[in-house]
Every structure is written in C-alpha cells, then in structure tokens.
Structure 1
Amino acid sequence: MVMEAKLPDSSEEADSWGVEIDYDAQFNDSDVRNGIVTCAALSLDGHHIALGFGSGVIELADIDHQCTISRFQLDPPNHPVWIEFVHGSHRVAAEDNEGNVTILSHDTTPINLGTLPNGPLPAVTRVSDNGLFIIRVPRDTDNSWYDNMTLISILGDPHMQLLASPPESDSLAIIHRHKPAIPHRRTLGFSPGARFIGAFDGLSAFTWSTDLGELIARYCVTDFKFWIMNPAVPLACSYHIPDPVSPQPTLSSGKHGVTDSHQSSKTDAVDNLDESWIKCPFYVISQSTKEEEEGLRRESDIRSFAAGRTPLFGTGIKRTGLPMFFNGKLEFVIPKEYRPVVSSHAKGLGAWYGDRVPSDPIFLYSPRSSQDGTRILFQGWQTAPIVVDLSQVI
C-alpha cells in the first residue's frame, strides 16, 4: 500500500452490528467535515492523487514523495462530489454538490464551466486516455441517463456540451426489474484516441462522437452480464460483436472518420485504432465449448481476461474482502472496509463521502486506477482513501 491515512472503524461493519451513524451530523460539524475526503482521483500515470475535502479544499499530492504539490479552494466552498485529472498530473476538473464544474490548475485562474443539474447521488464520470475529455452520466433515476449525457472538453476553450439524445423510437422508457438503469465506470468509456464515446446499461448501448456530440448508433443489450467495453487490446477469450439496431447515417458516411481521414493532430496509428474501435465498441464475451463443459473458468475470470489491464473487483459477498481480478485471474483481496457503497437510490445510502457506485447485478466494480492498472484507489466507507500498488506482484 503506497499511501494510507488514519482511518476510523468501518461504517459498514458498524451498520451491520446495528450502530446508528448520523452522517448528517458529520456533515454539519465543520471540524469533522474539514478532515473527510468526499472524493478522490488518481492520475493516469499513477504517481499523483487528488483529494477533495468536505470544506471545499482540493489537494494534489505526489504519492512517491509523500508531499502536497497544489492546494485549491472551491468557490463557493461546497464539498466536491467527483474529481478527475485532466491534461496531465497537475490539473483537475471537479464538480461540487451544487453541480458547479470547475477546472483547477496551480498556474492558472480557476475556470468555472457552469452548473449542471444534480441530485443526491454523485454523477458517474470517466476521463479519456489523453486527459482531454470527461464524460458525465447523471444518476437522476427520474430521467433516462442517455438523454442527459454531458461531455466536458478541456483543451483550448474548455466547455461543456450535452450529447445528442436518441430519437424517441430508439429510447427505452421501460426499465426492467433487476436491470442496471445507468452505466458505471465498467460500462462507460472512450475510444483510444477519444474521438468516440460508448456506454451501456442493462437494456441499451449507445455510441457518440466527441467532436459534435452526435449520436452514432444504438445497440440492444440482451445479455448484460457478458457485455464489456472494447478495451482496444486483443481479447484472450471467445467473443462476438453485437450489431447496432439503429445506426445513424453518419456512421457509414465517413463523417466521424470511419471511412475518411480525420483532421486532427493525432497520429495515424491512433486514428486507425479509433476507426477500428467504433466499428465494434462493445464485445459480448463467452466461454468456449470446452470451458463450458469442464467449468475451467469462472465468469469473473473471463471478464477480467476480456478487460485487459483494467482491474475488476467482485462485490457480491458483503462480509468479505474485495477479490481483485486482473488479466484473467484472482490476484489480490482488498480489506472489506474498502468495499464501495453500492446503491441505486439515495434513500438509505448513508455516507455522503467515499466510493458511492451504482448497483451491478453481476457484482463487478471497476475502481479508479492508473492507466496500466497497477495502482488502484480505494475509499469504500472510509473517511480517507488508500492507494494500492500491485506493480511488484503482477
């Protein structure tokens, strides 16, 4: 473990023994709030961490040298609900509990991008590999998530834009019971060069372009537990590629670079990866006949194989640690006090800090990690996070 703060007893463990924890009282106590990390982020290279405190302070720290490198104060001083590193390791974007989105850097004036509608549950975010885009999915269960996707652009003139909604005939108003109603970090992402966005829940999958925010295609998700985002690496398992049920005309016209060259500063190699990615943004993984007959692999192992360097954690057994699956096998078990707060509804959520993630019927969770997957950030129900370094054991 690279970095660890002093932590209180596990809230989950206290709750399981019937101890009543008053989270509202914690929020109203300024001394407590000032010392609670409400959210955190890990840089893509895994060497820096961003900590957002209940007082509205955001600190950037160097993990290897154990020192603070930048400190910011949100204005107004609301507590942040998510942070993402953007365009390097010394610049972050953050949203506070009132929906205000700000870009912070040690050498520039904070840039307020505006205010987004928010709710009691924090939005789900994902940053592109080049650090130039953030996709934000609101967790307002009264509206369809795919009608409220926001793309935050960092380079040049930073701004936010709402992605195009699918036509009414393509949207699905009926949410089936036991189906995940919104994407989360495991089912949300960008193409390698960040020209495209993909997301899916238990019923539908969609792709968009980042240049104009246009919808490209919708897919019907019939077997959610075997769907994964295309990790842009060769898959070491059996799979098939789903067909879109309503591709937009732009997909075949070359407008998004599928058949025409894309005018950008990216290399041809990255452009080619993006063109390949948008043709199959999602995979449906499966066991081979031999594996099915012999039961050689668990489903979690197969999904980990398919996800490549992305770590996955099982959250199904509440009173045990978090098993970590990496490159197709169980590699590590994280202490149970760092289990995420899993909920689809604000009622009964408990803590207003820590890892608050949407529910997943297959009990898999993708935490924030470095790009190579070897440094992973955990907070769970705790008031401060830890960074686990797996580079020496995998």
Structure 2
Amino acid sequence: MSKSLQAIRGMNDILPEQTPVWRYFEGTVSRLLDNYGYKQIRMPIVEFTELFKRSIGEVTDIVEKEMYTFEDRNGDSLTLRPEGTAACVRAVLEHGITGGGQVQKLWYIGPMFRHERPQKGRYRQFHQIGLEVFNLDGPDIDAELIVLTWRLWGELGIRDAVKLELNSLGTSESRGRYREALVEYLSAHHDKLDEDSQRRLKTNPLRVLDTKNADTQAVLVDAPKMADYLDDESRAHFEGLKARLDAVGIPYVLNPKLVRGLDYYSKTVFEWVTDKLGAQGTVCAGGRYDGLVEQMGGKPTPGVGFAMGIERLVLLLETLEQIPEEISRQVDVYLCAFGEEAELAGLALAELVRDQLPNLRLQVNAGAGSFKSQFKKADKSGALYALILGDDEMAQQVVGFKPLRGQGEQQSIAWDALAAHLATCVVQG
C-alpha cells in the first residue's frame, strides 16, 4: 500500500476554523499600517541564492544551515526566501523607487522558509508581516516603528504580555572595534565556551552574545559591552530614540546582548518578547540597516524595518483569550427554505438583503432537507438568527425570524422590512 500523502514536516495547513483569527489579525495590522501611511509591496517567494548570501551574510546560521536552496532547469541556484528585507531591498533597487532620496514606507505579508527543527511557534514555513522604510536616517522613524507596534498590541489586547528590548550596534566601524575586543576576551576563555560558540567566535563573534548555553552566558557576564564602543553619532541616535519612547510612555529594557541574527543590522535593534509562549518568546523584531542597500549595489540609503511572526502572535492571542467573540462566528443569519417555490423566493430575498446590508454574513441553506436537518445546520453554522420560508410564509409574503443564541420568540417579518429588522437585530445581537 502506498504511503498516504501529507504535508511536509514543519509546513502546516491553516484550517477553516483557524483562518478567522488569522484574518482578524491581518486585517487589524493592515488597517493600522494604512493609517500610518505605509504602502504594501508584494515580492516573489523565490529569489536568486546570491541575494541572501550578499545581504544576510554567508557565515550566518540562516545561509549556512537553514535555507531551502535548489537548482532550477536553467542551472540557476534559487532559494525560497528565508526573510523579507533582502527581497524588499532587491525590489526597490530593481525598480528605482528609492532613487533621488525618495522616502518609501513599505510593508509586506507572506510565507518565509527555513529548515529548522519544528516546534510550537517555530515552523519551516512560517508567515511574517514586515515593514521597511528607506531614506530616513533619524531616530524619529525608528521610534515610529516601535510606537505603531505598541498601538497594535493595545488594539489586540496583549500589551501586558509583551516587553520591548533595545540595543544599539553602532556603525560598522564602531562595531568592528567592539568585535576585536570581544574576540580577544572570548579567546582567553575559549575552553569555557560551548562548541557552537567556539565556531561562531571564528565566523560571527557577535552571535556568541545570543547564546542560550548557561556556561557561555556565565563567561559573558564580564565581557566587553557594546555601549562602551559606540561612536558619538550612534550614541546620539540611540538617546534620541529613547527620548521619543519616553515621551510616548512606552516602557523598554536595555539589553546589551541583543544583536539579532542577521549581519546587516547597525545602530538600533529591538525585539518585542513574551514569556507566555515558552521558548519561542520573540514575536516582533527588527532594527536599522543603513549599509544594506549600498552592500547590494545601490547608492548609500538609510533603511530600518522589522518583521512580526503571524503564527506566534495568533498563538499569543489564543493563549491570552484575546479573540473577539464575533471573530469565531462566521455566519450572522441562516436562511432555511422548504420546497422549490420557497427556495426560489429565498434566493431572491437573500440577494435583496445583501444589496442593502453588504456586510451581513448571510448563508442560504443548500441541499434542501427537512425542517429538523436545516435547523441543525443553522445551529451548527453559529448563526445568531434563522430565517424560515415555508408554505405559510410564502402565502403571507413574510419570513419567520427565530433567535438561535438567546431569549426571544419566533416572529414574522414582512419581506420588504427584513433588511431594516436585520440591521437592528444583528448589530444589537
């Protein structure tokens, strides 16, 4: 017997009972971004492999171990995108939309791919919403990115469950000086480092700061601090960011070990973290990457952005029970019709109601059925009300109106008054 077909490990189906929460989250974010003046951009999920090697860095874990890379029929090396920033930079360069200092405030949504060990909140195909801003170099735009996420957490009801961590990585020059000091310190304690940190010491020493190994963390207690190596420009930028967050009243924690996993970051880096999801605590992260556009062949262009993980934020909403009741209900009204004449009238009546109430979620029974079976389907749909069309209702040109979720007697409503009655009852319900 052949093996049954199933999804690839770490790449999950999002089932119909799950999608309302996703749509609620995505809709909330997209409306907020519209209000802040961000425009959506959509990029391919496949790019030339060289794009990610040049942007993310060849000695990062993503490029070395996690990318889905393959050769196409033309012999080109292609990769499923592991993150969105590089692809967005490639797009703005290719189409010249940041030339001449044009400010671009962009956002995107879609799947990313990394070959990691699947676990709750971490998958091989995962979904992100990302923001990227080009040609603004001040701390004001860094602050705006953080402020709008703070507003988002408020709208979603999860502010008390997340914490903001901040750090500054300085310019490439100041970071280079810090790297030398860190390597010198860690080399003197080489035997106390875990195996992965020993490897990173030779390839990407700043990532040692991000280790979860307890013994290496103990070594890092007395390690040099990035703050002591910041240049004046980076220090002033960081102070400007903190002043703006203080002005708005957004609490934050300074984390000198926060470095992020990608080579292109400079100056501001930040993470929104939670302790409600176990090991996978980061729900949104980003920072400034002023040298990336030039690194990818463009002119010097300031850039800053972030990405938030949809799976983790949906999981957080579910864990905290912060999903509005109406989100899980996909039907407001269910129309039951008995007999062919009633089915024809019901179809026409439903379309008239939809013309007048375009936001009403009205489902018409399909497949006929007895009174009992149709009402069973109406109840299972989650609808607040059932509409009933039978021989008696047809003769009087009325529709039976029956509450399904609360108190109230069935009543008869004239066809031409139905839309107005539903507008009042569904809103109140």
Structure with greater helix share of residues: 2
* Greater gyration radius: 2
Query: Is the TM-score greater than 0.5?
Result: no
Report the TM-score range of the alignment, normalised by the length of the smaller protein.
Answer: under 0.3
Structure with greater strand share of residues: 1
What TM-score do you get using the length of structure 1 for normalisation?
0.25
